[in-house]
Amino acid sequence: MEAWIDIIILFFMAVTVFAIARLRNLLAVVMLGGIYSLLAASIFVVMDAVDVAFTEASVGAGISTILFIGTLALTTRIEKKPAHTPLLPLIVVCITGAVLIFGTLDAAVYGDPQSPAMQDVAPYYLENTKKHTGIPNVVTAVLASYRGYDTLGEVTVIFTAGIGVILLLGSWRRGISASTRRKEEEE
Amino acid sequence: MKEYLVLRVITKLLLPFILLFGLYVQFHGDFGPGGGFQAGVIFAAGFILYAMVYGVKAARKVLPIGILRGGIAGGLLLYALVGVANLMLGENYLNYTPLAESMKEGQHLGIFLVELGVGITVASVMMTVFFTFATWRED
């Protein structure tokens, strides 16, 4: 049963990707991107990774779609026709895909308790989280406490992104006089 | 969007629930799925919905630009300062154990504060990015 759910969701994801590659209307592409994220979130739910699914649904399907639409409002809605033939990109994509599939042949079977990833720190976290932090959600404990440095770095990335947008497009540019801006646009 | 009466009414109805759900995800993240990242995004989505229907100006009245900018830096600062507080109390950076009497309570409090910092920064950044994109042409 679970395998069928996976197959159906993956099939829909493949269809979405083909539609994205074919379409020239960027608004439709953004919408399909949101649908793709939602399908990915469903896959994560099937895999019992609810925290990841939650992030994918809220960030991937929700806020990125909104930000993409905001970008489209600032730029244009129709993609230009590419000048070159799509043959070379197709070959590159096919080779990359083949290499990726070749790579999965050596990967551990999904959910295998004997795989290296399950043998190293995972049992330590599962055993000690309750003892150390008293928190039932191991994911939160790992993110905020055991791997606190990583999360600090991630927040710094978000912070930097926000500062970058403010510097590039922010309203402080109102102070720049109209003539300077006109000069900038000419350049 | 003055003419879309249904949208305006439904937005007003939905908004408290979206914000409440954001807070629930924020403060319940240690017991269920969720945490600062997701909560910040949901919280921001509520205000973005409001801005889309009622206009960015109306949303800016609720959340002035100063508060958002303060939030961007403040959340990250809160996270980093929790680490500094641990240093002062004689532990490693971002080891929350000395924040309270026992290890469990200290870790719990530390995770709570850190997630709050994450939520504040993420929500402020998302709202700032949207507001900036939406008002760029008018400036």
The domains of chain A are located at 1-83
Instruction: For chain B, say whether A175 makes contact (Cβ under 8 Å).
Output: no
| Residue A185 pLDDT greater than 80, yes or no | no
- Out of B72, B75, B104, the one facing A133 most closely (by C-beta) is B104
- Report helix angle B103-135 to B5-27, nearest 10: 150
* C-alpha–C-alpha distance, residues A172 and A185, integer Å: 17
Nearest CA-CA partner of B43 in B138, B103, B132, B119: B119
Inter-chain contact B107–A134, Cβ cutoff 8 Å? yes
A148: nearest CA in chain B? B94
Chain A residues in contact with B30 by the CB 8 A cut-off are: 135-137, 140-141
* C-alpha–C-alpha distance, residues A55 and B36, integer Å: 10
| Residue A44 pLDDT greater than 60, yes or no | yes
Q: What is the mean pLDDT of residues A66-73?
A: 88
Interface size, chain A vs chain B, as Cβ–Cβ contacts under 8 Å: 147
| Residue A177 pLDDT greater than 50, yes or no | no
Residues 6+ apart with CB under 8 A from A45: A53
> Per mean pLDDT, which range of A39-48, A53-62, A106-115, B93-102 is the poorest?
A106-115
Instruction: For chain B, say whether A161 makes contact (Cβ under 8 Å).
Output: yes
Which pLDDT tens digit goes with each residue over B70-95? Answer: 999 999 999 999 999 999 988 889 88
What rounded mean pLDDT belongs to chain A?
87
> Per mean pLDDT, which range of A155-169, A172-186, B52-66 is the poorest?
A172-186
- Out of B76, B93, B111, the one facing A141 most closely (by C-beta) is B111
* CATH class held by domain A1-83: mainly alpha
Q: Please state the ipTM of this predicted complex.
A: 0.90
Chain A residues in contact with B139 by the CB 8 A cut-off are: 171, 173-174
Q: Is A24 helix (H, G, I), strand (E, B) or coil?
A: coil
Q: What is the mean pLDDT of residues A144-154?
A: 91
- Out of B31, B94, B110, the one facing A152 most closely (by C-beta) is B94
Q: Which residues pair with B120 in a beta bridge?
A: none
Residue A7's pLDDT band (cuts 50, 70, 90): very high
* Alpha-carbon separation of residue B67 from B38, B64, B124 (angstroms): 20, 6, 8
Complete DSSP assignment for B19-65:
HHHHHHHHHTTTTSS--HHHHHHHHHHHHHHHHHHH-HHHHHHHS-H
- Out of B29, B105, B133, the one facing A74 most closely (by C-beta) is B133
Nearest CA-CA partner of B138 in B68, B56, B58: B56
Instruction: For chain B, say whether A153 makes contact (Cβ under 8 Å).
Output: no
| Residue A87 pLDDT greater than 70, yes or no | yes
Backbone phi and psi for residue A129, each to the nearest 5 degrees, phi listed first: -55, -45
Chain A residues in contact with B75 by the CB 8 A cut-off are: 155, 159
Q: Tell me, what's the pLDDT at B42? A: 93
Inter-chain contact A134–B29, Cβ cutoff 8 Å? no
CA distance to partner chain B, nearest, from residue A20 (Å) = 24
Inter-chain contact B130–A67, Cβ cutoff 8 Å? yes
List the single best residue of B107, B112, B113 to mutate versus A (max A Cβ within 10 A): B107
Q: Tell me, what's the pLDDT at B1? A: 56
What rounded mean pLDDT belongs to chain B?
89
Q: Tell me, what's the pLDDT at B14? A: 94
A67: nearest CA in chain B? B130
Instruction: For chain B, say whether A149 makes contact (Cβ under 8 Å).
Output: yes
